[in-house]
């Protein structure tokens, strides 16, 4: 079942380093004083972190307690697939110049961490190799970070959940009961940041988690290995997050079975975006790399509603690029036209049954569809081979009559049905999709 993300995000231009803000998503009971804060995307080349946080925000319901989620903390670095275009953001929580490009984001995050209700902070990362307490080989050794629960010290006195080592070991134990492979075993890595003696300890003292500890919060890092495919990294992160919630007494429901196969399907296929107050709906699974003649309102800013908080649209060289995390999904080549409102239903004969179809919906078809004649409307089925009719309503349209190259998906199953005002030339009302099953 498809879901819609709850907040509109306005299109921005390509230059957004100082203004491309992150999203804070609040789930559960907002008056709760036992809140979990989850942060993903602090480093944009670590997709396991921001994808896990995104799925927590879109595919989980918090039924007891409170969870705040920032899935796209460094959105600019995510889009650019970079650790940090202006330096590593996870080394900017100690001292930072007001002239730094990330200054405002860091200050905003600090205020979120400082909230009295926040009792635990989890920072999601992807790390190199596989952490091992003793040297095994170059990819399995103490210097690696992958498959590890990270703590800065064993215990923090006088705070809730201050028994960091004990909690981390519970997380590892839970994950290790559900391993996909034995090699993926989790261990706790104690960086002993509070000592501030070695170079690594001094570097770790600049991180988000150590800042949180300084603010009296329990804080952990989670590192899944970059050697794993993204959906497996997300699998381990969600296992960890569910255990953290269990420890805090936070209750939840998720909309899928937690296994690697289902996660891959959700990440790749349960994605979509709607434009212009839902008048245009685009499923993004198996989307073509380019969609031409995409209707855009002349003289107005395009607005969109994504299914994921790590999805956005950017205007580049007169075209609109849909990004999903650090993946470029498709390029929309605009056709500018006048828009008008239409809030009614459109009667469509689908395989012999009349359906009331709304603009911005998807209609499943087995054999044919026929948009019933309505004097108010002109219909254009994109790719339909028809030289006789300017208005393509009242016609039985079968898949074999539509040129496959005009489908919006690579499989040639989904096609656009655009609807216009019949009395005013090229006044666009919206569109719906048909998908041949």
Between CA 11 and CA 152 the distance in angstroms is: 39
Q: Which helix (H) or strand (E) holds 75?
A: helix 75-79
Percent of the chain with pLDDT over 90: 90
Q: What is the spatial order of strands in the sheet that 25-28 belongs to? A: 25-28, 66-70, 35-39, 118-127, 218-225, 148-151, 187-190
Between CA 44 and CA 61 the distance in angstroms is: 26
Instruction: Determine the pLDDT at residue 4.
Output: 32
Query: 3-class SS at 122?
Result: strand
pLDDT band, very low/low/confident/very high, at 277 (cuts 50, 70, 90): confident
Q: What is the pTM of this model?
A: 0.93
Burial class (CB in 10 A: 0-12, 13-18, 19+), 437: exposed
CATH of domain 9-267: 3.40.630.10
pLDDT band, very low/low/confident/very high, at 154 (cuts 50, 70, 90): very high
Q: What is the mean pLDDT of residues 86-104?
A: 96
Q: Which helix (H) or strand (E) holds 113?
A: helix 103-114
pLDDT digits (tens, 9 = 90+) for 342-372: 988 999 999 999 999 999 999 999 999 999 9
pLDDT band, very low/low/confident/very high, at 18 (cuts 50, 70, 90): very low
Question: By the 8 A CB rule, do 128 and 111 touch?
Answer: no
Residue ranges, comma separated, of all CATH 3.40.630.10 domains in the chain are: 9-267
Instruction: Determine the pLDDT at residue 385.
Output: 87
Query: 3-class SS at 275?
Result: strand
- For the ranges 76-85, 264-273, 380-389, the lowest mean pLDDT is seen at 380-389
- Which residue, among 232, 239, 236, has the nearest Cα to 260 in the 3D structure? 232
Q: Considering just the CA atoms, what is the radius of gyration of the chain in Å?
A: 25
- Beta-carbon neighbour count of residue 247 at 10 Å? 17
Q: What is the dihedral of CA 407, 413, 418, 419, to 10 degrees?
A: 170
């Amino acid at each position: 079942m498809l879901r819609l993300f709850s907040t509109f995000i306005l299109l921005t231009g390509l230059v957004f380093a100082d203004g491309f803000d992150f999203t804070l998503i609040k789930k559960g009971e907002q008056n709760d004083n036992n809140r979990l804060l989850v942060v993903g995307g602090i480093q944009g080349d670590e997709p396991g972190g921001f994808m896990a946080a995104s799925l927590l925000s879109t595919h989980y319901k918090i039924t007891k307690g409170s969870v705040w989620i920032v899935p796209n903390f460094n959105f600019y670095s995510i889009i650019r697939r970079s650790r940090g275009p202006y330096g590593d953001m996870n080394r900017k929580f100690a001292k930072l110049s007001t002239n730094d490009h990330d200054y405002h984001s860091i200050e905003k995050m600090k205020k979120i961490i400082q909230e009295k209700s926040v009792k635990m902070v989890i920072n999601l990362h992807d790390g190199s190799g596989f952490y091992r307490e003793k040297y095994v080989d170059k990819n399995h050794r103490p210097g690696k970070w992958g498959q590890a629960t990270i703590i800065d010290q064993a215990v923090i006195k006088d705070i809730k959940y201050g028994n960091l080592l004990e909690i981390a070991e519970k997380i590892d134990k839970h994950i290790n009961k559900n391993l996909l492979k034995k090699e993926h075993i989790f261990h706790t890595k104690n960086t002993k940041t509070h000592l501030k003696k070695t170079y690594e300890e001094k570097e770790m003292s600049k991180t988000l988690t150590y800042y949180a500890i300084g603010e009296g919060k329990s804080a952990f890092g989670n590192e899944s290995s970059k050697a794993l495919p993204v959906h497996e990294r997300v699998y381990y992160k969600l296992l960890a997050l569910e255990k953290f919630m269990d420890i805090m007494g936070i209750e939840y429901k998720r909309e899928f079975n937690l296994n690697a196969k289902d996660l891959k399907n959700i990440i790749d296929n349960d994605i979509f975006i709607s434009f212009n107050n839902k008048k245009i709906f685009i499923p993004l699974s198996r989307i073509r790399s380019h969609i031409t003649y995409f209707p855009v309102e002349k003289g107005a800013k395009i607005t969109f509603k994504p299914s994921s908080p790590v999805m956005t649209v950017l205007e580049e060289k007169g075209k609109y690029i849909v990004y999903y995390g650090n993946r470029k999904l498709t390029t929309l080549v605009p056709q500018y036209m006048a828009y008008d409102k239409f809030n009614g239903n459109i009667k469509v004969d689908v395989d012999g049954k009349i359906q009331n179809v709304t603009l911005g919906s998807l209609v499943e078809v087995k054999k044919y569809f026929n948009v019933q004649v309505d004097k108010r409307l002109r219909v254009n089925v994109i790719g339909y081979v028809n030289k006789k009719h300017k208005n393509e309503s009242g016609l039985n349209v079968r898949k074999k009559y539509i040129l496959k190259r005009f489908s919006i998906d690579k499989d040639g199953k989904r096609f656009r049905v655009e609807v216009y005002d019949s009395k005013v030339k090229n006044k666009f009302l919206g569109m719906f999709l048909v998908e041949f099953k």
